[in-house]
Amino acid sequence: MKLKIAVVGPEILVHDISKVTEEFEEIEVIPMIYSSELEAPSLITQLKEFADLFLFSGQAPYYLSQKVLPDDHRAVFIPFEGTDIYSVLAKIYQAYHFFPIISFDCFSPQHLQEVYEEMGLAEVSRFTKTMEGYWDSEELFHHHMHLWTEKKVQVIATGLHSVYKRLKQLKVPVFLIKHTKQTIRETVKKAILMGNEQKKHGAQITVLQFQIDDDNCHFDTWEKGEYLEVKQKILAYGNELFSSSGIIDGKTITLYTTRGILEKVTNHLKEYTVLNEIRTKFAHTISLGIGMGNTGESAVYNASRALLFARQNGGNCAFLIDDEKKAHGPLGFSHPLEYSLINVQEGNFSSLTVRKFFAWLSIMRRDRVTAREVSIGMNTSDRHAIRILKKLRDKGVAEVIGKESMNQRGRPRPIYKIDLISLAREIEKKE
C-alpha cells in the first residue's frame, strides 16, 4: 500500500512539489491547495484522517497548523536552504544585470551573509526579516512595503506566496523565493522515512488485559449476572479495536489489536471510555493493563506487568508498558506519569535509582511498600530492592512500620513507610 502524503501549500508550490514526487513510486500525493496560508489549519482538520503524513510547502503553513496537527506530529515542512538563495539571486540578476538592494524574508542574517560573502557581494546592502516560531503575513507585508516606500530597497524577495501576490498587485518589484528541486527531493525522502516509521509504529502488536477488581471473580463468574454484562461491554470495546476475539483465561480477558488502532480509538492514549462506562454503570470496576511490543510474546508480557501495576495502584485504572519498557499511568487522567523499567543498576544507589523509585511511588500513589513490591515495580532483584529500602531507612527517609501477614510459609516481609518529602529532598541532593 502506498504512503499517502498530503502536500499543503499554494497552487504554484504544490505543483512544483508534486512534479518531484512523481520520482517516488511508493507514495501517493493528496494536493491540499490554499489561497492564503491562513486556510491551512482548516484543510488539515478536514483531511487529516486520510493522510499518513503532511508535507508543507514552507514554515508559515506548518506553524499556523500546529494546533490541529495530530499529536504524533506526522508533519514536515520544506526548509529554505542556501541553494534557494542562490536561485533567487540568479533570477534577480537576470532581470537587472546587477545586484540591487533586496529585502528578504525566510533567511537568517547569518545565512545571507555567508552566501553574499561566497559570491563576493559582502559590501552590497540588504535587509532581512525573520520570524521565530510564528508567522504573520500582515507583518511581513507592511515590513517590505515600508522599506520600499522609504526607498531603502530596490527589490523584495519573499518566501510567503500571499505576500508575493499582494506586492505584485501593487506593482512592487518582487520575486517569490522557491525551493530548488534538490531541496524538495531531500525533504520528500525525509517524509517517506517518517511515514514508513509511523506505519511500523502503528502496526506494533498491542495487548489489552482486563480484570474485574474482585478477588472472587473466576472463569465461571464471567457468565453470571453483572459479570456477564461487564464481559460483554469489554468484548464490544474489542470490536472498536478490531480485535478478532476476546480470550478469557481465569480472571483475565485479553484483547489483541495494533498500536495505531488503539491510539485512534483512545485519542492518542488519552481517553478510555470503557473504564468510565463500567465505573458509572456497574457496581464493579476493572483494571486494565496495556502492553506493546515488536512480538506477541513481548506485548503479552508487558500487558501482564501493566495490569499488575494497575492492580497495585488500587484498581479502577489503566497502565501501559510500551516497547521501550516505559511504564505510563494511570492513563485517562490529566497528568499520567511515566518512568523507565530498565537501567536500574544492581548495587548502585545512584540519583537515577532514587528518581525511579520516587516516580514509581508517585505512579502507585503509595507511601507504604514491601521489598517484593519494589522489586516487581522497578524490575530489579529482591536483594537490590531490600538494599534500596535499607539505604533509605539509614537516611531517615523510610521506616519499618510493621510486617505483612503471610498465608504461605516464610518470614513476613517488613512494611516500609516512605517520607515522600524527605525522598524528594534526597533527589535534590543528588542532582
Mark whether 215 and 267 lie in a shared domain: yes
CA 1-180-55 angle, to 5 degrees, is 35
Mark whether 144 and 87 lie in a shared domain: yes
Q: How far is CA 120 from the centre of its chain?
A: 45
Cβ atoms of 179 and 78 within 8 Å: the answer is yes
Q: In a 3-state reduction of DSSP, which class is residue 340?
A: strand
Mark whether 335 and 358 lie in a shared domain: no
Dihedral sign (CA 56, 60, 65, 69): positive
Q: Which residue has the cell 559570491?
A: 119
First to last CA, the chain: 49
Mark whether 148 and 37 lie in a shared domain: no
Distance in angstroms (rounded) separating the CA atoms of residues 286 and 278: 8
Instruction: Single out the residue in 317, 339, 361 at which a domain terminates.
Output: 339
Residues of the domain holding 310: 203-339
Q: What is the per-residue pLDDT for 336?
A: 74
Q: In a 3-state reduction of DSSP, which class is residue 361?
A: helix
Mark whether 73 and 196 lie in a shared domain: yes
Distance in angstroms (rounded) separating the CA atoms of residues 310 and 300: 15
Cβ atoms of 359 and 418 within 8 Å: the answer is no
Distance in angstroms (rounded) separating the CA atoms of residues 309 and 360: 10
Mark whether 111 and 66 lie in a shared domain: no
Q: What is the per-residue pLDDT for 344?
A: 45
Mark whether 65 and 210 lie in a shared domain: no
Mark whether 349 and 228 lie in a shared domain: no
Q: What is the per-residue pLDDT for 345?
A: 46
Pairing of strands 205-212, 286-293: antiparallel
Amino acid at 74: R
Q: Classify residue 33 as exposed, middle or buried by CB count within 10 Å of its CB (0-12, 13-18, 19+).
A: middle
Distance in angstroms (rounded) separating the CA atoms of residues 206 and 257: 5
Q: Which residue has the cell 530596490?
A: 154
Distance in angstroms (rounded) separating the CA atoms of residues 184 and 55: 10
Pairing of strands 337-340, 368-369: unpaired
Residue 330, preceding peptide bond in cis (omega within 30° of 0): yes
Mark whether 423 and 281 lie in a shared domain: no
Residues counted in the chain = 431
Q: In a 3-state reduction of DSSP, which class is residue 270?
A: coil
Per-residue pLDDT of the chain (431 residues; tens, 9 = 90+): 788 899 999 999 999 999 999 999 999 999 999 999 999 999 998 887 788 889 999 988 999 998 888 766 688 899 988 889 999 999 999 999 999 999 999 888 998 999 999 999 999 999 999 887 677 889 999 999 999 999 999 999 999 999 999 999 999 999 999 999 999 999 999 989 888 888 888 889 999 999 888 766 655 555 667 778 888 888 888 888 887 666 776 678 899 999 988 988 888 888 888 888 888 888 888 899 999 988 888 888 888 888 888 888 888 889 999 988 888 888 877 677 777 776 544 445 566 677 778 777 876 777 888 888 888 777 778 888 888 899 899 889 999 998 876 555 567 889 999 988 788 777 766 55
Dihedral sign (CA 64, 67, 68, 69): positive
Supply the CATH number for residue 116's domain: 3.40.50.10660
Q: What does each C-alpha distance from 96 to 86, 153, 172, 353, 423 come to in angstroms?
A: 15, 14, 14, 67, 71
Supply the CATH number for residue 385's domain: 1.10.10.10
Q: What is the per-residue pLDDT for 409?
A: 56
The DSSP H or E segment spanning 55 is: strand 53-56
Mark whether 209 and 287 lie in a shared domain: yes
Q: Which three cell numbers stand for residue 430?
A: 543528588
Instruction: Single out the residue in 152, 169, 200 at which a domain terminates.
Output: 200
Total domain count, the chain: 4
Residues 6+ apart with CB under 8 A from 295: 205
